Amino acid sequence: MMKFAVKEWAELISGPISMKEQDQRIFKHADLPAVKDKLSITLRLKIHKHFSDWSTVFHKGTEHSIRTPIIQLTPNKSSLHARFTGNWGSNVGIGELDDVLTLNKWHHIAYTLSDPEKRLDIYLDGEWAGFYCIEKVKTNKVVFNDGPLHIGRAIYHHGFNGEISNVRYFNWRLSPEEVMEDFINEFQRKPIVYGSKIALIHLSTGKYLSTKGIKYDFGPNNQQYMIICNGQEIDTENDVWTLIGTSGKGINEGDPVSLNNIIGFKHKSTGYCLHSHNTNNGKVTPISKQQQVTLRPGEIGVDDEWLIRRYNPTTSYDTGHLMNGDIIGLFHNKTNKSALYSHAVLLGDGSQEVSCSGDGSESNNKVSNIPFQMQLFSD
C-alpha cells in the first residue's frame, strides 16, 4: 500500500499578545499537527528587556532534559539558543548565534528540524542565521516527544518579557523559500492605530459593513441610518470607517489599539458614529426583529462604544494590540455586550441585515455569524 506524507500546520497564537516572565501558554501534544521526524516553528517576537539568566521562548517536553524543540534567549543579550534532544544527548544544537535580538523591535524567527536530513536550522528576519548538523548520521537520531508545547515560562526557566504573535507549528521542515514567504507575509501585517481608516468584512459572507443612506423612522429630530453588509468589493464612500477612542479616555491619534478595550467607529463619508440602542418602543431590525445597528450624528456617546476582542472560538480572549487582518468580534458595551452580527437575511434591495445579538458571554463569541475581518484602507 502506498503511503503519503500529509503536511499540516496550525497557528497557535495569532496575536500579538503581551507576556511577562511568569506568563505561559500551553498547547497539548494531541492538539498539534502530528509529527513523524520533522518539524518547524515560526513566530514573531518583540522583547522589552534582557535578563541576567536564561529565558524561554518555547519548549516542548515534560521535563528539563526533554526538549525537542526548544528556543531560549541567552543571558544579558538575548541571542537565540536553539536546541533539541537526541538519542546520544539530551541537549544538543546551537549554543549561541552572533545575532542578538534588538529590544522593542519585532523579529521573525524560524526553527526547522529534520531527522532524515540530520540538521537544525535557525532563521532570523528571513535570513539563515545558524545551523547544527548531526555527524554520525547512521546511529544518531533526533528524539521527538509527546509532551506539551510551552510558550513562555516552562519547567525551570522563566519566559520572556515582551510580545509574541503568529506562532505557527508545522509537521515538516520548511525550506528557505518557505521561511522567507512566512517572513514577508507576516511583516505586511501592520498595526491598526487610533485614527486608522479601516473596513470591516463579515467573515462568513465576505460582505462589507456599510450603509446606503436608508433612514430609520425615529421622527424628524432623530436622524439615524441603517447599517447593512453589502457587496464583496469595497465601496470607498460607504464601507470605510475611522477608528476612534471613546470620550474621556485621553487617546491620541496614532496610539496602538489594545484588544479587550472599548473603542468607537466614525463613518468616513458622513462623520456619523457606529451606534446601537435597546429595543424599547419597537426599535428592532426589519426582518429578524433584533437590536438595531445604525449611524448616529454627533460626537461619540455611550451608545457608540464597542468592546473589541480577537475572535477565537477555541481559547480565551487574546491580549495585545490590533493588527491589520485580525479577525475580531465587536460587542455593544451599553446593551449587555450584545455582539455585532450579520447573516444571510437579505433586505429588499439585496443587502444583508446587521443587528446586535446575544448576551456577551464567551459562548456568544463562538457564533459563526459574529466575526469580522478588519483591514486597513489606503486612500
pLDDT, position 145: 98
- In this model, does residue 251 exceed pLDDT 90? no
Q: When comparing pLDDT for 215 and 331, which is higher?
A: 331
Q: When comparing pLDDT for 279 and 65, which is higher?
A: 65
User: pLDDT digits over 327-340, tens only?
Assistant: 888 999 998 888 89
Given pLDDT bands bounded at 50, 70 and 90, which one contains residue 315? very low
CATH code assigned to 193-376: 2.80.10.50
Average pLDDT of the residues in 41-57 = 95
Q: When comparing pLDDT for 103 and 133, which is higher?
A: 133
Given pLDDT bands bounded at 50, 70 and 90, which one contains residue 77? very high
- In this model, does residue 96 exceed pLDDT 80? yes
- In this model, does residue 363 exceed pLDDT 70? no
pTM assigned to the model: 0.55
* Angle ∠(216,222,223) on CA atoms, nearest 5: 55
Given pLDDT bands bounded at 50, 70 and 90, which one contains residue 359? low
Given pLDDT bands bounded at 50, 70 and 90, which one contains residue 127? very high
pLDDT, position 12: 93
- In this model, does residue 8 exceed pLDDT 50? yes
Given pLDDT bands bounded at 50, 70 and 90, which one contains residue 16? confident
Average pLDDT of the residues in 198-226 = 85
User: pLDDT digits over 19-36, tens only?
Assistant: 999 999 999 999 999 999
pLDDT, position 270: 93
- In this model, does residue 364 exceed pLDDT 70? no
- In this model, does residue 187 exceed pLDDT 70? no
CATH code assigned to 9-187: 2.60.120.200
Domains in the chain: boundaries: 9-187, 193-376
User: pLDDT digits over 266-301, tens only?
Assistant: 999 999 999 998 887 778 887 788 898 999 999 999
Out of 19-23, 183-187, 334-338, 350-354, least confident range = 183-187
Any idea of the CA torsion for 28, 31, 34, 35, to the nearest 10 degrees?
A: -30
pLDDT, position 338: 87
pLDDT, position 229: 92
pLDDT, position 162: 92
Asked if residues 167 and 11 have their Cβ atoms less than 8 Å apart, the reply is yes
**271-305: b or e for each residue (b if 16 or more CB lie within 10 Å)?**
ebbbbbbbbeeeeebeeeebbbbbbbeeebeebbb
User: pLDDT digits over 224-235, tens only?
Assistant: 899 999 988 889
* Most confidently modeled range among 133-137, 187-191, 319-323: 133-137
Using alpha carbons, select from 145, 187, 138, 164 the residue that is nearest to residue 23: 164
What's phi and psi for 115, nearest 5 deg?
-75, -45
- In this model, does residue 376 exceed pLDDT 90? no
Average pLDDT of the residues in 103-123 = 95
User: pLDDT digits over 149-172, tens only?
Assistant: 999 999 889 999 999 988 999 999
Given pLDDT bands bounded at 50, 70 and 90, which one contains residue 117? very high
